Structure 1
Amino acid sequence: MQQTEKPFILGLGGTTSPTSSTEVALGIALQAAEDAGAETELFGSDRLMALPHYRSDPAGLNQTGKDLVELVRRADGIVISSPGYHGTVSGLVKNAIDYIEETSTDARVYLDGIPVGLIVTAYGWQAVGSTLAALRSIVHSLRGWPTPLGVGINASGGMFSEGICTDESVNQQLKLVAQQVMLRSEVH
């Protein structure tokens, strides 16, 4: 099926700080998707913090939660970016992912057939690997298609500053994960 509109790529993730390495990395990937012709939206720190703990009760959804669910429904592809906290996905990002449960009765259940790029930042390699594996498992459970490349970044060296990444190899990986989401979303 040939797509006539720009694909919509949702960026989901970050920490409590919009200047965190996690959110900056996500922003770089989303910019690469925009440069490749996508419409993008970042669901980052401010909105992550405005989400109440997920509960499977539609009356429990605030406007931010409803907005997230609608963005997921609209998405042709998603890029998820999480810090590696204590060896796994942060509670803030996992809570947002739990809102995808609201799509369980949709025509497109969860992330069925949707390409999902994954980015993990941590201050050490052990948390990078285990968090990336956890995200891949979550995406599979939600029927999504993790991209072949998952970007794992040991951010302990201070490579993120003032909204940029000073490590060119990391920049290239972030652009590649966005390209892989774009390629898959075009055939979706």
Structure 2
Amino acid sequence: MSVRIVAIGGTVSSPSSTEMALRAATQPAIEAGAHVDVFGGEYLSDLPFYRGPGHAKDTGREMVEAVRQADALILAAPGYHGTVSGLVKNALDYLEDLAKDSRPYLHGRSVGLIATAYGDQASMSTLLTMRSIVHALRGWPTPMGATVRTYPGLFSPEGECLDDRARMQLRLVGEQSLNGAKSLQGFPEQM
């Protein structure tokens, strides 16, 4: 059975360190032949506030459908003022459309988490917030959550992570997301 992974994250600035970290974390899944969909900053920037002005029934449909079919997710958020950015939180709010599914929200899905920030405090508090969100959405956060301290030169222009510590964390998040997806395949739809 093939594994499907959805990666969501980024910022309004492109290319962002957050989105490059997200894409780096998808590499183990791509190398293993998994199907990977990435919804980065450009896509997220076009989403109106969930159920706010400009929101329509089909808004965000591609992302919601991809998550509906996913075995695992990888989420990456920048730490803005010590918590998840509004851009990423808004995207996660769209998962409310999965509430009445036979596999509601993130039920039975592993979720890898990445928090980026210029400082350690913001990345840690953002990671903890993301874990709480995933728990509230019935997902299974991976044991490893990456906290990536960003700085100019962290990524090459091609998106390669040039920092050994960050590269190891991102790879481990990707591997655990993939392994979690394989472990949870066949998980009961409802409990």
Scaled by the length of structure 2, the TM-score of the pair is 0.90
Q: 1:110 and 2:90 equivalent? A: no
Are positions 1:127 and 2:89 aligned together? no
For the Cα contact (< 8 Å) 1:124–1:156, is it kept in 2? no
Counterpart position of 1:83: 78
Answering whether residue 53 of structure 2 is matched by residue 92 of structure 1, we say: no
CA distance in 1, matches of 2:171, 2:6: 15
Structure 1 ranges of 4+ moved more than 6 A: none
Residue 100 of structure 2 is aligned to residue 101 of structure 1: no
Q: Secondary structure at the match of 1:12?
A: strand
Alignment counterpart, residue 12 of structure 2, candidates 16, 26, 51? 16
> 1:7·1:38 contact (CA, 8 Å) conserved in 2?
yes
Q: Does the Cα contact within 8 Å between 1:84 and 1:127 map onto a contact in 2? A: yes
The CA deviation string for residues 116-139 of structure 1, in whole angstroms up to 9 with x for no partner, is 000011010110110000000000
Q: What are the within-5 Å matches in structure 2 for residues 54-73 of structure 1? A: 54-55=50-51, 60-63=56-59, 65-73=60-68
Instruction: Report the RMSD for the aligned CA atoms in angstroms.
Output: 1.6
Higher helix share: 1
2:38 maps to amino acid: L
Q: CA deviation at 1:17?
A: 2.5
- Residues 88-127 of structure 1 show CA distances to partners (whole Å, capped at 9, x for unaligned) of 0000000000000000000001001210000011010110
Deviation, 1:61, is 3.4
- Residue 171 of structure 1 aligns to a residue whose secondary structure is helix
Matched length: 182
Is contact 1:18-1:44 (8 Å) kept?
Answer: no
Contact 1:14/1:83, CA 8 A, preserved across alignment: yes
Q: Distance in 2 between matches of 1:91 and 1:18?
A: 16
Q: Which residue of 2 aligns with 1:177?
A: 173
**Inter-CA distance 140–56: structure 2 relative to 1 (3 Å threshold):** farther
TM-score (norm 1): 0.92
Q: Share of identical aligned residues, percent?
A: 49
Give structure 1 stretches of 5+ with no counterpart. none
Match of 2:148 in 1: 153
Q: Which residue of 1 aligns with 2:3?
A: 7
Q: Secondary structure at the match of 1:156?
A: coil
